[in-house]
Structure 1
Amino acid sequence: MQSFSKGRLFSIVLLTLVLVATGGCDNESTEPSATQRAINDLQAKYDELVEDELESPVKWAIDDLENIGDWEHKVIDLTDGGAAAMETTLNELGNDRWEVFWIENNNEYRIMLKRPSRSYLSRIPLSQIGRFVIGGKDGQE
């Protein structure tokens, strides 16, 4: 696997943020678009890296890429408080992207949920990263 310098990784992240920010279209909705949420998440992660002075952004990138395809799991127990209460709870969990994949009923409902592990770099199309890596193999873009 090819190793990356800190400067190259930061260049990739910054260029991607700029490309995504300038490539979006106007949206009249007050909710942020998926693109805007991705930009915000990437910006927050970048700020965290800079703030913490992470000794190895390449290690962070490798760890982040390893999250692609992984799942987080959660188990909750709900008492029968009625359909409306259960619906509210499930909608709140759904807002955090949790998906129900199993329900057991033993005096209370045991609900098993899953969601994809968060990977910031998975949101960036590989073609965009590849096109704008500064300092390619021969020092060319």
Structure 2
Amino acid sequence: MSVPVPKGEATPSILIVDGDIISRHAIADYLRHCGYAVVEAATTDEAMKALGEPSLGVDVILCDASATGSQSAFGLSTWVRNNRPELEVRLAGSLEGILNTAADLCEHGPHLLRPYEPQAIVDYIKQLRASRDRASR
């Protein structure tokens, strides 16, 4: 069941980075149905290009931990942390992938274990916003 963004609240924008078009479209459609603005990228290169667009305001990046491009998902996460610290990055991956990259995931923060329910992303975004609201008071 999707839980929409409450009326009157600013709508966060989410950048989804996933080479699997079916997974990417499915989560993007779910998030749009919940009222979020969504930008899709198939590779980390497309994500970097999108992040370079001045008119594109992104709040959260959901990136498949096995995303490909000129840099890995972890490279993208590092770049965001160093250059756009106001953005939150959430990596998603399979148990096998997470076990193979445990050190990287520890360094790069929270992650989602695949398969996950799309509502887990919405819940994460709500927790993030609540945390930011508390910090700004």
The bucket for the TM-score relative to the shorter chain is: under 0.3
- Structure with bigger gyration radius: 1
TM-score by length of 2: 0.27
TM-score normalised by L of structure 1:
0.27
